[in-house]
Amino acid sequence: MNNAPYATDTLNTWLDYWSHVHVTGIDLGLERVIPVAEKLEVTQPIAKVFTVAGTNGKGSTTTTLAAILNAQGYKVGLYQSPHIYRFNERVKLAGQEVDDQTLINAFVAVDQARRECGLSLSFFEATTLAAFVIFKQQQCDVWVLEVGLGGRLDVVNVVDPDIAVITNIGLDHTDWLGDTIEKIAYEKAGIIRPGIPVVFGGLQTLPQAIQTKAESSQATLYTANRDYFFKYSEDGQYWFFASSGLTVKLPVGSLALENIALAVAAVLLSGLDVTQTAIAQGIQKARLSGRFEIRKLQDRTIILDAGHNPHGVEFLLKQLRKFLEYNKQYTEIITVFSMLADKDIETVVDILKPAVLSWNIAPLTVPRAASLEQLGFALQEETVKQFSSVQEAFHSAVAEAQQHQLILVCGSFHTLEAVWEYLEECQ
């Protein structure tokens, strides 16, 4: 597809164009991207840059970072993926999604630059560069960037960060990143630059690949439960953050505490002037769909979580146990569940089985969807009801759930997407 849309065309026309420019949707490597980024002059912004990599928790961490810095009064450009309803969700200025025309204008600039370089760009590469163009044009004080896949070869890594944040390391995207924790950690550690602070928020043994990269880069490494600590108060109404010479009492947010604490640690290490009041305000304001998102429908409580790999689902269960500890009226869990076929369905199911009373399963409506047969095979010996769509599965769960039963929707962003659509229709 060589004929580019015009600046007067719609955003959807441009998004369709970018999905056809390059031969594949995922093409890790920076050889094609760097010349275009340099032509656009976005590789060394006059701004403080936070780059966040990791297997799970990137969205919660970047959302909290941006919320805290916005509360302090900085002009923050936030880049995240994927989106849920609208592509515009990926690019935010001062907490607000950018409008269609701002995105289109950036796409025009990216397309012109890549043509001048004689290069093609994947959808993710082109749209990421467009976000950088917007942040540069808007003269943002801070860029908060979420890595899409890996780190070392991801397009986000064309920008040099001032602080590198790695949430945790788990086995996911093994076809692209490697089949061991150390191989994946090596890719994530690719965002580290010489002499900058690096914060690792994983509550696991520090992978050697991250330690080695930090040491070879003479980058100062800070890790959870060694250089900073966090814990809830006894009544769960607030929490404490502590690091060298500092202990603060902070409000509980809606996102996972370990990701909130990681964001606080990164802010405090960044050298930016941020008050405790701004940190507290940011924590309370930070919201992100699909990360232990609690909703109500017909007097039933629903928890939606996008966990789609073993590490993410283990983290979901940890949050669920904490929730049940303070909401003892719930004694049973009904799950609305579906996954993509290329994910580790059996391990995810094995992790969830002890907590779940019954399963409502259905196939997703996307090309990589797991079939009912695949889902059913993983759920042998479990109490399972099969449906033709996720929305039907969810409707049945709501209709049948008792007051003491919690409805958990999980397995994939696509599973959540179907339920969000249903919830919107019920408003």
pLDDT bucket at 259, cuts 50 / 70 / 90: very high
Q: What is the pLDDT of residue 55?
A: 87
Q: What is the pLDDT of residue 1?
A: 45
Supply the DSSP symbol for 365: S
| Strand order, beta sheet including 405-410 | 293-297, 300-304, 405-410, 332-337, 358-361, 384-386
Q: What is the pLDDT of residue 172?
A: 58
Q: What is the pLDDT of residue 27?
A: 56
Mean pLDDT of 270-283: 98
The residue ranking higher by pLDDT, 245 or 355, is: 355
Q: Is 420 helix (H, G, I), strand (E, B) or coil?
A: helix
Percentage of the chain with pLDDT > 70?
Answer: 96
Q: From CA 287, how far away is CA 383, in angstroms rounded?
A: 33
Collect all residues with Cβ–Cβ distance below 8 Å to 71 and sequence separation of at least 6. Answer: 277, 278, 279, 281, 282, 285
pLDDT for 366-416, tens place per residue?
888 999 999 999 998 889 999 999 999 999 999 999 999 999 999 998 899
Does the pLDDT value for residue 175 go beyond 60?
Answer: no
Which residue type is seen at 236?
A: G
Q: What is the pLDDT of residue 56?
A: 85
Question: Residue 117 half-sphere exposure, CB side, CA atoms within 13 Å?
Answer: 19
90-110 burial, b at 16+ Cβ within 10 Å, e below that, comes to: bbbbbbebbeeebbbebbbbb
Q: What is the pLDDT of residue 420?
A: 87
Name the residue with tokens 């920076």. Answer: 30
pLDDT for 77-133, tens place per residue?
999 988 877 899 999 999 999 999 999 999 999 999 999 999 999 999 999 999 999
Copy the structure tokens of residue 102.
């701002």
Q: From CA 86, how far away is CA 289, in angstroms rounded?
A: 13
Closest Cα partner for 361 from 394, 316, 333, 332?
A: 394
Q: From CA 121, how far away is CA 133, in angstroms rounded?
A: 15
